[in-house]
Amino acid sequence: MSLLELQRRMAEDVRRPLAAGFAMQTVTEDGTLMEERAASYITPNPQLSSFERLEIYNRQYWFRVIGAVSEDFPAVNAVLGERRFDALVLAYLKEHASISWTLRDLGAKLPEFLEEHPELAGRRYRLAVDVARLEWAYVDAFDGERLEPLSLAELAGIGPESRFELQPHLRLLELSYPVEDLVLAVRRGTPETEMSSSASQERSGPAELRLPAMRRRTVYLAVHRYDDQVYYRRIGPEAFRLLGALQEGRTLAESLTAAFVGKTVSAGRQAQVVQECLAHASQLGWLCAPRVEERPA
């Protein structure tokens, strides 16, 4: 067996999905006994067989990736309960295995995955999806790129045909529940070392938290970073549509039309909403000049 073949075989075995009870599978897909496969390239020692030595790496790999996802979604864990949450994370990782050098993006598709698999969430499905979307927006806002905001002189020159780029770390969310207080309550009540799945079996899960009552109500949130802190700011539906249109690259005039489409709003009220929205956006540094794409020489 060449070194490359050895590396590929071990990588395949270490990443092999765990069996029930977070144990290593005993048989491969083609019927090979894992004891025999492990013995083909791992030497036993007086305490552990080849299989047991490989199982340590197999389990620790999965505990690490499970923990990486779980640390980003402590409120989803609180909403679903540990058993459902661990099942969700394991199902998710079977479809979205780690393929990057960084674990930062491993949970990026979990909100979408949860929305596509309501059976994994039970009766709290819609609430769990909203919580997952907000928690991932938190991750994005925390370390997303920051551009230089428009200067006062540039803001003074804004016109109907102006286009903006919003800060890349800004996330706009339309949610079915006002979940921001729930997410903050969980994050404040869960120590950093406990913000991970109980799947590792090597520590106790997060303490039971009393979740605030949730009544279904559409809310619009702007999740952003300011002075290295992430904030959730509730905004109105018109501001949400206005900022969303600007984020898509539409002109200011086009964005104003999108903000009030299908609404009967007086010109005075429209002007007030727009003025307040752009004032807040400029104060928080959300408005940036569009980046110019460099063309190859």
Q: What is the pLDDT of residues 206-259, one digit of tens each?
A: 445 667 678 899 999 999 999 989 999 999 999 999 999 999 999 999 999 999
Asked if the structure places residue 109 within a domain, the reply is yes
Q: What token pair was written down for 57?
A: 């790496």
With cut-offs at 50, 70 and 90, classify the pLDDT of residue 20.
confident
Nearest-angstrom CA–CA distance, 27 and 36: 10
Supply the mean pLDDT for the chain: 88
Mean pLDDT (whole number) for 168-185: 94
Q: How far is C-alpha 141 from the chain's CA centre?
A: 10
Asked if the structure places residue 64 within a domain, the reply is yes
pLDDT at 203: 36
Asked if the structure places residue 149 within a domain, the reply is no
Mean pLDDT (whole number) for 17-44: 92
Asked if the structure places residue 152 within a domain, the reply is no
pLDDT at 200: 36
Asked if the structure places residue 87 within a domain, the reply is yes
DSSP 190: S
Asked if the structure places residue 286 within a domain, the reply is no
Nearest-angstrom CA–CA distance, 133 and 138: 9
pLDDT at 276: 92
Q: What token pair was written down for 111?
A: 């909100």
pLDDT at 274: 87
Q: What token pair was written down for 266?
A: 């007086």
Nearest-angstrom CA–CA distance, 76 and 74: 6
Nearest-angstrom CA–CA distance, 169 and 229: 12
* Contact assessment for residue 152 and residue 40, using Cβ atoms and an 8 Å cutoff: no
Nearest-angstrom CA–CA distance, 104 and 174: 24
State the total domains in the chain.
1
**Domain assignment of residue 20, given as a range:** 3-143+180-213
With cut-offs at 50, 70 and 90, classify the pLDDT of residue 126.
very high
Mean pLDDT (whole number) for 23-48: 94
* 192 has pLDDT over 80: no
Asked if the structure places residue 81 within a domain, the reply is yes
pLDDT at 295: 56
Measuring CA to CA, which residue among 206, 200, 141 is closest to residue 170? 141
* 66 has pLDDT over 80: yes
CA dihedral defined by 73, 233, 179, 204, rounded to 10 degrees? 30
Asked if the structure places residue 52 within a domain, the reply is yes
Nearest-angstrom CA–CA distance, 59 and 192: 22
Reduce the DSSP state of residue 23 to 3 states and report it.
strand
